[in-house]
Structure 1
């Protein structure tokens, strides 16, 4: 079953998500049941729950220490190990129906911070699982786990394809999911605009946009819809742009671009928010 068919027909089958090297099994956390959990427990390694950071904070899970890079191992206070108990815990956790006092730590369910922007922000398995749940109309949270071979090895993409065919499961490639979202979703939203008089570079029209990978500000001067137009794409660098750090020339590049646009009388500076100060680790 193709990605478009999975979305169109609201398939409630476990999905096999693959990249170039390995694969995972995934199912929306909001409606996961004992059958899906049992299938994952039989064919995969540990259970992971992919949810975005704002949900982790809302649920109060951010008070627990991360294990490794981005996992928080938790369980319900009864510490149940059956598929039914784990499915119940996962469903009610993502719905916000379990209080922090009812959670024990560490546990056997590995909560993973997945990027809220999904595969367009980071092309990982957690993000892909999150995207699929959201596209099916569920809470953006998914249970997933690494597919294993009968011999206990991490399954390859080739093994995953045969496994999916054997069990009649849909296969979704991360690269196809990225392409599908780019083709079918409105990714850039214009949210605000204002006149911006500057001290050294004249008057610009500032236009703010929201995207899955962060905020963008476009500074526009003159009539840019006609003829050739100067365009500078500048990644935010707090230390260089604001504090004039000597470790980079970002601030100089920004100032020179604005000077050139001002001298030309028209042009656009696209300012990409959310990048770090170069060479300083911020």
Structure 2
């Protein structure tokens, strides 16, 4: 992950002041994610000049990030039902303002379409499909649920007191390659722009907003010994999650941690050391003498339905990482050894105040 101490990143507070004044900033994501920088502007500040700047100097695809409630109101659906893109970028059907535009592609036309999208008086009829403006559906909870530029732009606009929507454009070099960090630094210096990271935005929000609510703690005698079971509830989707603590965490600066996604048949019927990842992980914690297993339930609407959890999830998404990270921080963990089935990299952990010092593989 990029380190703010060695790179001229600005604070989120500085970026919010720029956004509030109607200026652009550059938002950089994690080097283990898309590893790119986006020009970012509050949608309510869009002008033909801003669109032209993005097209001329940013060179990437210009999109408008919107909340799901607005897209639903305007009847603008997702482009596909089954999103198979690596980072699940939620592209919607492209649109155009029905009135006030010509070909739709000009800077003025795209600016007009964005203005119409965020106009509270607009209705579904005010747009034609397809068009030249690409809406993106931001996840509820913003960067705390998905550490992408889509959510970052909406969060920055909202935190700056603007309409919760943003215009973004990936920054490309003149030769058509993606601009990486050294290129982005030069770009910002040339155009007098501030640059911030999604990780810093996550940290900023975490310092002000809770993601999970602590419910209770109980002690249980189990196959693996005495567990302190901490109960949490997600404030975003109501999901109930557990943190199972074995031993005294205060005695180790880097406790062993396993984050486990619920898979009902495997978890319920293959207990102990019979080969499932839950049981094997608990065996490792028992041998260690201390550690944590964070048990993340699947989405609240599927809880209790075995058919929905027959297939083990292949990996954690940003929502899982966000929830699990804040649970670990609640337990006072900052540095940890991660217990995993394979070598794993998680994006955005810096923003949660977490560091993985080592990955320990178990079979």
Task: Report matched runs for 1:74-153 at 5 Å.
Answer: 74-78=95-99, 79-80=101-102, 81=104, 82-153=106-177
Aligned 8 A contact 1:51 1:112 in 2: yes
Would you say 1:51 and 2:61 are equivalent positions? no
Would you say 1:13 and 2:23 are equivalent positions? yes
Aligned 8 A contact 1:17 1:125 in 2: yes
Q: Which residue of 2 aligns with 1:71?
A: 91
Q: Which residue of 2 aligns with 1:262?
A: none
Of 1, 6, 10 in structure 2, the residue corresponding to residue 2 of structure 1 is 10
Structure 2 CA distance for partners of 1:123 and 1:63, relative to 1, 3 Å? closer
**What SS does the corresponding residue of 1:127 show, helix, strand or coil?**
helix
1:14 is displaced (CA, Å) by 0.5
Q: Which residue of 2 aligns with 1:264?
A: none
Q: Which residue of 2 aligns with 1:185?
A: 208
Task: Supply the distance in 2 between the matched residues of 1:237 and 1:176 (Cα, whole angstroms).
Answer: 30
Aligned 8 A contact 2:27 2:39 in 1: yes
1:120 is displaced (CA, Å) by 2.6
Q: Bigger CA drift: 164-173 or 43-52? A: 43-52
Unmatched runs of 5 consecutive residues or more in structure 2: 1-8, 219-228, 245-256, 284-291, 300-308, 316-363
> What is the CA deviation profile of residues 12-34 of structure 1, one whole-angstrom value per residue up to 9, with x for unaligned ones?
21111123442111111133222
1:51 is displaced (CA, Å) by 2.3
TM-score w.r.t. the length of structure 2 is 0.57
Aligned 8 A contact 2:78 2:91 in 1: no
Structure 2 CA distance for partners of 1:52 and 1:60, relative to 1, 3 Å? same
- Taking only aligned residues, the RMSD between alpha carbons, in angstroms, comes to 4.7
Structure 2 CA distance for partners of 1:105 and 1:77, relative to 1, 3 Å? same
> What is the CA deviation profile of residues 220-271 of structure 1, one whole-angstrom value per residue up to 9, with x for unaligned ones?
9xxxxxxxxxxx98745254457989x9847879xx9xxxxxxxxxxx9965
Task: Supply the distance in 2 between the matched residues of 1:242 and 1:23 (Cα, whole angstroms).
Answer: 44
Unmatched runs of 5 consecutive residues or more in structure 1: 196-204, 221-231, 257-267
Task: Report matched runs for 1:135-214 at 5 Å.
Answer: 135-182=159-206, 184-190=207-213, 209-211=233-235
Structure 2 CA distance for partners of 1:269 and 1:166, relative to 1, 3 Å? closer
**What SS does the corresponding residue of 1:62 show, helix, strand or coil?**
coil
Aligned 8 A contact 1:248 1:279 in 2: no
**What SS does the corresponding residue of 2:77 show, helix, strand or coil?**
helix
Task: Supply the distance in 1 between the matched residues of 2:184 and 2:261 (Cα, whole angstroms).
Answer: 41
Aligned length: 274
**What SS does the corresponding residue of 1:25 show, helix, strand or coil?**
strand
> What is the CA deviation profile of residues 30-76 of structure 1, one whole-angstrom value per residue up to 9, with x for unaligned ones?
33222222211222222111224344323311276579843222212
Task: Supply the distance in 2 between the matched residues of 1:50 and 1:15 (Cα, whole angstroms).
Answer: 15
TM-score w.r.t. the length of structure 1 is 0.70
Structure 2 CA distance for partners of 1:27 and 1:219, relative to 1, 3 Å? closer
1:135 is displaced (CA, Å) by 1.6
Aligned 8 A contact 1:47 1:108 in 2: no
Q: Which residue of 1 aligns with 2:43?
A: 29
Aligned 8 A contact 1:30 1:95 in 2: no
Structure 2 CA distance for partners of 1:104 and 1:191, relative to 1, 3 Å? farther
Aligned 8 A contact 2:260 2:278 in 1: no
**What SS does the corresponding residue of 1:278 show, helix, strand or coil?**
coil
